[in-house]
Amino acid sequence: MDALTLSVQPLLLCAANAARVLGIGERHFHGLHSSGRLGPLPVRLGRRTLWSRIELEEWVKRDRSSVDSPTRRVL
């Protein structure tokens, strides 16, 4: 392939990769999910539980835009 080769990013992420995308630990990610504070719902494919990369990114953008103060909210 040449320099124009596109980087392929998966549409669905396991918990470890979803946590990495959000910049949090996997344990914290599972805590957010089990407490209902994680916005996007997972998708089940066989035995795998996966989260949509797009929904995670949109959730972060929505959460960020809902904050009125210049300080960041803690997840």
The tokens for 53 are 């990369």
Task: Check whether 73 has a pLDDT greater than 70.
Answer: no
Q: Determine the pLDDT at residue 7.
A: 82
Task: Check whether 67 has a pLDDT greater than 60.
Answer: no
Indicate the domain borders of the chain: 12-59
Model confidence band, residue 68 (pLDDT cutoffs 50, 70, 90): very low
Model confidence band, residue 11 (pLDDT cutoffs 50, 70, 90): very high
Q: Determine the pLDDT at residue 52.
A: 98
The CA-atom distances, in angstroms, between 17 and each of 4, 9, 66, 70 are: 26, 11, 25, 28
Nearest to 60 by CA among 44, 72, 48: 72
The tokens for 3 are 């320099």
